[in-house]
Amino acid sequence: MPYPEHRTGIKLLRPQPGNLGCKLCGVYGAWICHGPEQPADPHSSNVERAVFGGSRDYAGSIETRIARAGADRVWGCRYHYYKDQSGRVYFLESADYASLLPAGCIPITDAEASELLAPDPEPLDTLRDRAPLLLPAWEKSERAAGIEHAGHLWLITPLALQDIRDVLLAGAVPGEQWVAADRQIVPMTLPELQSLWQAITARGAQIYQRRLEMEQQIADMSREQLEAFVPGWPEPVQA
């Protein structure tokens, strides 16, 4: 189990409403991680006889870097874990300070403390609802990237498509030239613009089809797949 990053003060300090950060260092989850006898350096080894009280009942979940504190040695200290009748977990630097704990606290193992303090996983439905929200930005990015055609990069944004559509409807390319994505003026006949239009619409359809595929895949993904999901193209099949 990881080490706790902060040591608390000389006496047991309970979480107070609205106080979700250490008053000295501002670390979230350690309501007050330094005692009333504050050293010049609140993180120095002079902060002795550490006692930390944390509660899943109060905060929902304590920040991982503090909640998953282990019983390994930190600054030469070994932590001991206790649980009160409501399930609140306490960390003691030494069992000698057990008298500071509320009545009814009992010692528990590292594994029990870790289980009590581990944050609950997000509901699967929440993960599944969140994943599709990433797709519009992915599609917009893919369209903004443009398309390579006839030796040039062309925009395939909605505005660029509208410009091409207007010219095709008119039946003539103004000045027989068109502007590429890099603002370079390229000679362009009407048949060449029609060919570009076909390439652009094909690419747009490919992007949209991939978005639909990902939407369908999300519906069947496991928790692990949803947690790791990043929109994109499938990996090419290696021969």
**Domain residue extents for the chain:** 1-120, 125-228
Q: Residue 71: its pLDDT value, please?
A: 30
Give me the helix-helix angle, 190-219 and 135-144, nearest 10°.
160
Tens digits of residue pLDDT in 103-133: 889 999 888 887 777 777 889 999 999 999 9
From the list 73, 54, 104, the residue with the least C-alpha distance to 2 is 73
Q: Residue 163: its pLDDT value, please?
A: 93
Q: Residue 120: its pLDDT value, please?
A: 75
Q: What is the dihedral of CA 25, 51, 120, 1, to 10 degrees?
A: 90
Task: Give mean pLDDT in consecutive 10-residue pieces for the chain, a chain of 239 residues.
Answer: 35 37 39 37 32 35 32 46 85 80 88 78 93 96 92 90 94 94 95 95 94 97 95 82
Instruction: Centre a 10 Å sphere on the Cβ of residue 89 and count the other Cβ atoms it contains.
Output: 25
